[in-house]
């Protein structure tokens, strides 16, 4: 049970105790709207899982997609599954639960996990920009500059950066005592709404969060912009209009994904807590934590010829199998 006394996430004094639970206020207290949100979130989660898992399976099955670009894309899909699964299942439970509580340990774990996947995604998107840069600007050196060893090294570095950054992020937020309230005005444990509960000066924590998020976001954005500036310069030197369209089409889906992801992330984290509107933050959070993971596989499949061809081949293979099964069953029936 929660008491009405001030409490802290860490033991900071004799009269203060460990927090055992937070209350997630979510979007609304109206029962009919909560059912609507439950159905909406469930539909989005199912589509997210099916879309991203489908893309991963497709990439694994089709030998033509065993390239660095699709290697990174498969891990992008995996990250989308991971951080959707960090948030949405808890939200689904809360929509139907009378007490919308989350334990302190689970809140810490949720924030740490989400920050890890989100940060790793920044570096994977940057790695994908590097792949496009090499493919268009250094095609003769593509097999050398995107070798299996280099790709695995970049991916390992992305995950390591995610773990280190999320550790700093999580520790900086939970180092302060929370005594204004134990009710988080959000649908998951995120940094800004947690800092809003602190009863101590949060300036240091805000600076740490801004530096960590700012470094990861701005450094990867800068790398992506430099890569695409070089790509654009190379594309403009192509004489054929068809060649220019083909080169740009391979980058269009990646640019769309980058724009969706970074615009909402920057808007959420790289502004002071005092300027945050918690209701507005919920809407922004929905974009990068719920909508983007669902949209990514569709953005890539709709704008990518290779993936569309792989889907057509998979569908053709499935239809062929069904035909063979039908013929076998018919043959068995005739023999009887």
* Residue 52 in domain: yes
Q: What is the CATH number of the domain that holds 29?
A: 1.20.1070.10
Evaluate if residue 36 carries a pLDDT over 60. yes
> What number of residues does the chain have?
336
* Residue 114 in domain: yes
User: Residue 15: pLDDT band by 50, 70, 90 thresholds?
Assistant: very low
Give whichever of 5-14, 216-225, 276-285, 289-298 has the largest mean pLDDT: 216-225
What six digits make up the tokens of 324? Answer: 């063979």
* Residue 39 in domain: yes
CA distances from 160 to 20, 148, 150, 219 (A): 30, 18, 15, 16
**Contact status, residue 92 vs residue 38, Cβ threshold 8 Å:** yes
* Residue 11 in domain: no
Query: What domain range includes position 259?
Result: 21-311
Mean pLDDT, the chain, integer: 80
* Residue 195 in domain: yes
pLDDT digits (tens, 9 = 90+) for 151-198: 999 999 999 999 999 999 899 888 877 765 678 888 888 888 888 787
Report the domain count for the chain.
1
Q: Which of 261, 253, 268, 267 is nearest to 298 (CA)?
A: 253
Average pLDDT over residues 268-284: 68
Evaluate if residue 281 carries a pLDDT over 90. no
User: Residue 292: pLDDT band by 50, 70, 90 thresholds?
Assistant: confident
**Structure confidence at residue 303 (pLDDT):** 59
**Structure confidence at residue 226 (pLDDT):** 94
**Structure confidence at residue 100 (pLDDT):** 84
Q: Dump the DSSP string for 234-286.
A: HHHT---HHHHHHHHHHHHHHHHHHHHHHHHHHHHHSS-GGG--HHHHHHHHH
**Structure confidence at residue 13 (pLDDT):** 43
**Structure confidence at residue 151 (pLDDT):** 96
**Structure confidence at residue 322 (pLDDT):** 47
**Structure confidence at residue 155 (pLDDT):** 96
Could you tell me what percent of the chain has a pLDDT over 90? 34
Give whichever of 109-113, 183-187, 264-268 has the largest mean pLDDT: 109-113
User: Residue 307: pLDDT band by 50, 70, 90 thresholds?
Assistant: low
**Structure confidence at residue 336 (pLDDT):** 53
* Residue 336 in domain: no
**Contact status, residue 224 vs residue 257, Cβ threshold 8 Å:** no
Q: Which residue has the higher pLDDT, 79 or 304?
A: 79
User: Residue 4: pLDDT band by 50, 70, 90 thresholds?
Assistant: very low
Evaluate if residue 327 carries a pLDDT over 60. no
pLDDT digits (tens, 9 = 90+) for 115-127: 999 999 999 999 9
Rounded to an integer, what distance in angstroms lies between the CA atom of residue 184 and that of residue 107? Answer: 11
**Structure confidence at residue 3 (pLDDT):** 42
User: Residue 297: pLDDT band by 50, 70, 90 thresholds?
Assistant: confident
Evaluate if residue 228 carries a pLDDT over 80. yes
Evaluate if residue 86 carries a pLDDT over 90. yes
Strands 183-184 vs 21-24: parallel, antiparallel or unpaired: parallel
* Residue 295 in domain: yes
* Residue 327 in domain: no
């Amino acid at each position: 049970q929660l008491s009405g006394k001030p409490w802290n996430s860490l033991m900071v004094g004799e009269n203060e105790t460990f927090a055992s639970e937070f209350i997630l206020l979510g979007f609304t207290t109206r029962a009919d709207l909560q059912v609507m949100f439950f159905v909406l979130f469930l539909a989005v989660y199912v589509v997210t899982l099916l879309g991203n898992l489908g893309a991963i399976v497709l990439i694994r099955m089709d030998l033509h997609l065993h390239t660095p670009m699709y290697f990174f894309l498969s891990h992008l899909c995996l990250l989308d599954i991971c951080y959707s699964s960090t948030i949405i299942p808890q939200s689904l439970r809360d929509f139907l639960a009378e007490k919308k509580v989350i334990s302190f340990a689970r809140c810490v774990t949720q924030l740490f996990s989400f920050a890890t996947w989100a940060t790793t995604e920044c570096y994977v998107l940057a790695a994908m920009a590097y792949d496009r840069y090499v493919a268009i600007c250094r095609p003769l050196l593509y097999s050398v500059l995107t070798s299996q060893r280099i790709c695995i090294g970049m991916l390992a570095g992305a995950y390591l950066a995610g773990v280190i950054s999320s550790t700093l992020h999580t520790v900086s937020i939970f180092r302060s005592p929370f005594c204004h309230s134990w009710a988080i005005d959000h649908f998951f444990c995120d940094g800004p709404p947690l800092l809003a509960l602190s009863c101590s000066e949060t300036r240091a924590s805000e600076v740490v969060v801004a530096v960590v998020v700012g470094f990861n976001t701005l450094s990867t954005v800068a790398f992506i912009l430099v890569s695409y500036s070089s790509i654009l310069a190379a594309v403009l030197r192509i004489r054929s209009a068809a060649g220019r369209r083909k080169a740009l089409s391979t980058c269009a889906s990646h640019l769309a994904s980058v724009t969706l992801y970074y615009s909402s992330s920057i808007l959420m984290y790289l502004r002071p807590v005092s300027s945050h509107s918690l209701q507005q933050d919920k809407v922004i959070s929905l974009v990068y934590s719920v909508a983007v993971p669902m949209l990514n596989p569709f953005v890539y499949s709709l704008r990518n010829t290779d993936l569309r061809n792989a889907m057509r081949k998979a569908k053709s293979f499935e239809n062929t199998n069904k035909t063979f099964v039908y013929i076998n069953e018919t043959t068995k029936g005739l023999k009887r």
